[in-house]
Chain A
Amino acid sequence: MGYDLNMRVWRGDATGGGFSSYVVPVEEGEVVLDAIHRLQAEQAPDLAVRWNCKAGKCGSCSAEVNGKPRLMCMTRLSSFDPTETITVTPMRTFPIIRDLVTDVTFNYEKAREVPAFTPAGDNKGGKFRMAQVDVERGQEFRKCIECFLCQNTCHVIRDHDDNKPAFAGPRFFIRYAELDMHPLDTLDRRKMAQNEEGLGYCNITKCCTEVCPEGIHITDNGIIPLKERVVDAKYDPVLIPFLGRRKDRRPVGSAAGHGPSPIKRPGQPSTPSPVTTDVAARTATLAPAPPEPTGLGPMVPGPADQAKMAAPYAVAAGGLGFLVWALRRRRR
């Protein structure tokens, strides 16, 4: 039944702030976002908070509840003791705008660096053919609701702001993994993921996986296989003749998103003239490659022992993964 909830909410802006304490009446079955909304409607109408769907589908209401990165709409009050004080703070990794709202532009900038899906030909009349088992791999990553909790929790940038320019973060590593696993994609983004997006910084501590509200196996199914394939692209001179290697993909060089950002912020000028579409310019130089309908074959997640160890160097981790992959592939 209903009770009075003690809350501490961080209030402030880029210049500073602190905790404000509130007592909010709450009802059975409610979530943290309900308490925040009631607070906003009855006591603090200017309390800044982002939200949209209130059903865990849009990824807007990300915050830290008692220090844990969570979606407020999916954090039930019944998971706390009624006498407990609930502390709500904004995501720590991104600059504060106001109260619980942070500036997540970083993620949108990283998003535009990813070279888009590039099929060999068009899909007029629905020519594409893909097997369900092949699309399911990418579908897991496309469940991502872009709440950016994984980005927020990733220690590569959470405590090291200076790493941001060189590190895309878990959300975008699974975007690279998704495109890499797409049965009809023709670009090879592996070197780019490693050299320009900082895949190597990740030492697979799995914090991102732990906070993912969608339960995506970011590390096991996304980052580790991607690391393995990066190693495959970079460090396998001896084994290639025995194992064969995909040759049908065209490598991409530098990051895709050059020029003025299309994501505008208050006070920025608009983009001066229409840009020719990036993908058209890029793909024009690429020879068409035949699609491979069966995709990459079964994906090989890194073995559990490897995943658990907090390997300090990604290359070492990837190398081990590559050997496992190579051995399994030869057995087939």
Chain B
Amino acid sequence: MVETERHDYDVIVIGAGGSGLRAAIAAHEAGARTAIVCKSLLGKAHTVMAEGGAAAAMGNVWPEDNWQVHFRDTMRGGKMLNNWRMAQLHALEAPDRVYELEEWGALFDRTKDGKISQRDFGGHRYARLAHVGDRTGLEMIRTLQQRAVQIGVDVFMECTITRLLKDGGKIAGAFGYWRETGSFITFTAPAVVLATGGIGKSFQVTSNSWEYTGDGHAMALWAGASLINMEFVQFHPTGMVWPPSVKGILITESVRGEGGVLRNSEGKRFMFDYIPDFFKAETADNEKEADAWYADHINNRRPPELLPRDEVARAINSEIKAGRGSPHGGVYLDIATRRSAEDIKRRLPSMYHQFKELGDVDITKEPMEVAPTCHYVMGGIEVDADTQASIVPGLYAAGEVSGGMHGSNRLGGNSLSDLLVFGRRAGDSAADYVSKLPSRPRISEADVQAAADEAEEPFSNPGKENPYAVMKDLQEHMQSLVGIIRRAEELERALKEIDRLKERAKNVSVRGLGREYNPGWNTALDLRSMLTVSECIAKAALERTESRGGHTRDDYPATDYDYWGTINLVLTERNGKLQLDRKPLPVMPDELKTLFEESH
């Protein structure tokens, strides 16, 4: 029998970012014995990197705002490929989830009359983001973390799950290891909520941390769940480009929300040249109107800098390719000439700090150099909109690891609210599922043994591959072949390269003292998930022969509303082979369709 410690719970939540913490709180409060398991220390998850805010139509700044407008903005931002029901639930419930955070101690910035202040962001018709300066994610994770610890949710931190365990078709538990000791840990639990975040580490230039290796996506796929929309990867328009060591680090969209503009090397505000027909009616076509919009949203159209992220990222990419970039291969983001130094420091304190400390740039005096950086995957585990249940009984997903909510492109600010709304729903449904189970599924010792053997394999592998080298090559191929602009030949080549890397990964061996806090070994195990999700992305990207949101095909530049606008690509694993199917998109009821008929 495998040497492993064992724990029994009703619900295991994997991941301790915003959605994982919110799910764990919900499951615990619903009476389920709940544990949260996370790869890093508690409070360090990627949610802390979220800067701008949480979108919720509270109407504190613009009373004209309401859930219908938010719903419409979300669907249009996702180029109508969103799961309409998720977008609706999200818009409906986001305000309550934000109020709840405040009840648990969050301190959001205020309006003059003492309500939660709201800021402008790309693709949102009204100022809608509840925020705390430019460190909203930190505020959110701290609030949820303090709440979870206070109510007594068990926390297993620096503990990595490598396999989900099943009994017949149902979830029965999970297997993993403690980073600190390398010792194995087995959970028996009839319900697992995956809240593992995204896949950004598969790309070279990314705003994502080492944790973002797509573990949840891959484990769900291996356990029989389906992934949808994996071709849609969001490249955030504004990542740092200089110095090289900070390449890809995020610059919040709030810089543009607060009045920042993009210029090329000729000093031109180039976004006016990139307004797509889809957004023409609501986007200002001259600087005067764009600038007037900040004070008067009703009589002016929004500046093109605040188009959805996919549009802005593509525009920046085109300017750089046309030779109008900055010295380090970006474009200029200018807030210095637009707002006073005092305002910038007050509204964007961590951006000021980040550039000062890491780039020797004073953003109150000089423009920033920016270029797109891999930021978010819209695709993820296919779930039921109301319960976040996957097709595997007992397996739930919330946050970035789930798919459907954001369609082909996520609006900024919609992810923090997504985490809260669907984290809670996933935790509630998981607890409810467990309470109604006639009998508890059992884990099989053979499965535990297999998971342990798999985890230990790199130590006995006679091969000579270095896990870091394989990871680096994967990142380079994904960046150059499956990046922001794609074409068939490159995607086909990417799939071949991934096959080769899979072969190399079979020869990865780990040197060193042993399993105790051994990052080489940890990376060797993470590689499997990274290769799996990379293949999913490349395969789906090759299949979708159109351009939409976070998927731009050089060889198919048009958006095809008639056919591809009605299709989701669904990935499953059958007999160890990745299977791709086309599935019709759920159809929106007529009363919601009318929301899209008005012109502006």
Contacts and interface: CB of A to CB of B under 8 A. Distances in A.
A151 B201 CA distance: 32
Given A27-B244, A30-B243, A143-B135, A132 B99 contact: no
Interface in B479-532: 510-513, 516-521, 523
B44 A58 contact: yes
A126 B99 contact: yes
B108 A135 contact: yes
A142 B40 contact: no
A145 interface: yes
B249 A264 contact: no
B152 A278 contact: yes
A48 B519 contact: yes
B180 A29 contact: no
Contact of B132 (A142, A259, A269, A279): A142
B343 to A, nearest CB: 14
Task: Give the bracket for the number of chain B residues in contact with chain A.
Answer: 35 or more
A27 B99 contact: no
A29 B244 contact: yes
B463 to A, nearest CB: 14
B211 interface: yes
A244 interface: no
B150 A131 contact: no
B358 A74 contact: yes
Nearest to B107: A135
B57 to A, nearest CB: 12
B48 A262 contact: no
Contact of B181 (A143, A182, A266): A266
Given A57-B48, A58-B48, A267-B5, A182 B105 contact: yes
B31 interface: yes
Contacts of A40: 468, 519-520
A101 interface: yes
A122 B103 contact: yes
B298 interface: no
B347 interface: no
Contact of B152 (A46, A101, A271): A271
A41 B468 contact: yes
B242 A29 contact: yes
B99 A123 contact: yes
A320 interface: no
Interface stretch (B112-120, B538-546, B564-572): B112-120
Contact of B156 (A34, A116, A264): A264
Interface in B23-46: 28-29, 31-35, 40-46
Nearest to A104: B41
A52 B114 CA distance: 35
With most chain A CB atoms within 10 A of its CB, the pick from B34, B108, B466, B517 is B517
B398 interface: no
With most chain A CB atoms within 10 A of its CB, the pick from B31, B150, B511 is B150
A55 B245 contact: no
Contacts, number: 236
B58 interface: yes
A293 interface: yes
B114 A130 contact: yes
Given A45-B467, A274-B33, A60 B44 contact: yes
A53 B50 CA distance: 11
Interface string B106-141: 011110111111000000000000001101001100
A177 interface: no
Contact of B113 (A47, A129, A256): A129
Given A119-B103, A182-B105, A264-B154, A29 B246 contact: yes
B450 interface: no
Contacts of B386: none
B188 to A, nearest CB: 11
B100 interface: yes
A41 B469 CA distance: 8
Interface in A24-53: 27-31, 34, 40-42, 45-53
B318 to A, nearest CB: 27
Interface stretch (B62-70, B287-295, B349-357): B349-357
Given A52-B209, A126-B58, 7 more contacts: A34-B245, A45-B519, A55-B249, A112-B149, A129-B113, A142-B138, A270-B35
20 contacts: A29-B243, A41-B472, A46-B512, A48-B517, A57-B135, A58-B44, A98-B180, A108-B155, A117-B104, A117-B146, A130-B107, A131-B110, A131-B114, A132-B110, A138-B107, A143-B138, A146-B43, A146-B142, A274-B32, A278-B150
